Structure 1
Amino acid sequence: MTTSNSQVTLTENEIAAVKMTLNYDDRENQHGDNYSNAGMDEMTAGLGWNKHQVAALMGSLEAKGIGFYCEEDDLFWLTPFGVDTIFDIIEAEQKQAA
């Protein structure tokens, strides 16, 4: 399964990984705090994958402009575009569920 907004398509696993980086339930607070990240260990545990698989997923997300991996911090950070993209998807999921 894949989900897309008007600019990018994400797989179900990419969506799950990006959701792990969120600290808030709404776009405005997420942008305001500018703290959207998840560590390699968090993603491997959350997805049930090994580090090589998660690294490949992070590479795919980076190529799509969703975020970037910082080796020094061992964290995957969302870009502002990534925040908007995941909240577009979350809002679409909520409308579909209603």
Structure 2
Amino acid sequence: MATIINDRIDVRISKEQKELIKYASSLRGFKSLSEFIVYCVNTEASKIIMDNEKILKTIEDKNIFVNAILNPPAPGEGLKKAQLSALNHKINGI
């Protein structure tokens, strides 16, 4: 399957970085350095996107999360009781 090239990215790196990348590319058997770089960047970009989507899948999820942080509900009786118990434990060593 032929790859259609329709855009370009220019990157400046040190000679040492280039040699490292070339070596890794040759170890994996890529035909060109560009092919290896595109493969690695696409793989990492996909992981980043998947990780982000696992946490908060939709805009609504994100809005709910941010709203909960910015406007937390008042503590209920169970939480108040647990807080008092923890405070007593800390003070009395119980």
Q: Same fold (TM over 0.5)?
A: no
User: Greater helix percent: which structure?
Assistant: 2
User: Greater strand percent: which structure?
Assistant: 1
Q: Please, what TM-score do these two structures have when normalized by structure 1? A: 0.33
User: Whose RCO is larger (CA < 8 A, sep 6+)?
Assistant: 1
